[in-house]
Chains A and B, each alone.
Chain A
Amino acid sequence: GENVEQHPSTLSVQEGDSAVIKCTYSDSASNYFPWYKQELGKGPQLIIDIRSNVGEKKDQRIAVTLNKTAKHFSLHITETQPEDSAVYFCAASKISQKLVFGQGTRLTINP
């Protein structure tokens, strides 16, 4: 089955700098790659996703890139703000299959 590895497990950046979180997946047939943000005491919430027919997708300060050949995808957050502090999860799935999540990254934005 699918296996998703996420790095780093913790990340600390200065406010205003960029943050990058990377994930690799094992099943070349996976075609959907979402990112979830989990704030303290809450459930995960979808923030951006990408399909395998697209190499990059942006939404304001966040972007996701996908390299199908290398089987990895990344979350990029620019101009980080204190409210970006949270745990971020990547995931992968094939059509009609259930999501497989990465281990999570705790992102801390330092003022």
Chain B
Amino acid sequence: KNEVEQSPQNLTAQEGEFITINCSYSVGISALHWLQQHPGGGIVSLFMLSSGKKKHGRLIATINIQEKHSSLHITASHPRDSAVYICAVPYKYGNKLVFGAGTILRVKS
């Protein structure tokens, strides 16, 4: 079993839809990262959170430490949100990250 599981693997949505991507992990963590990668592009850090909820524009990330689960929500989705979304958790000490397999999101206009 992978230490970080994401679902769904692929997601196609219509512009304007509310989107949820889920991440479950099996290790104890201090924080969880949500990352975004556009096709052919580099990786951008969207959120790092250790409790509760964070919001940035149309993006909302939540985490439940007890249930070892986090969700990334996109409100009013737009074609420019099409990208791969990856959750990652730090492993033990230091800055080593363990990654989920990613969710490929396509938003159609």
Q: Say whether A associates with B.
A: no
Interface residues of B (CB under 8 A from A): none
Task: Give residues in A with beta carbon < 8 Å to B.
Answer: none
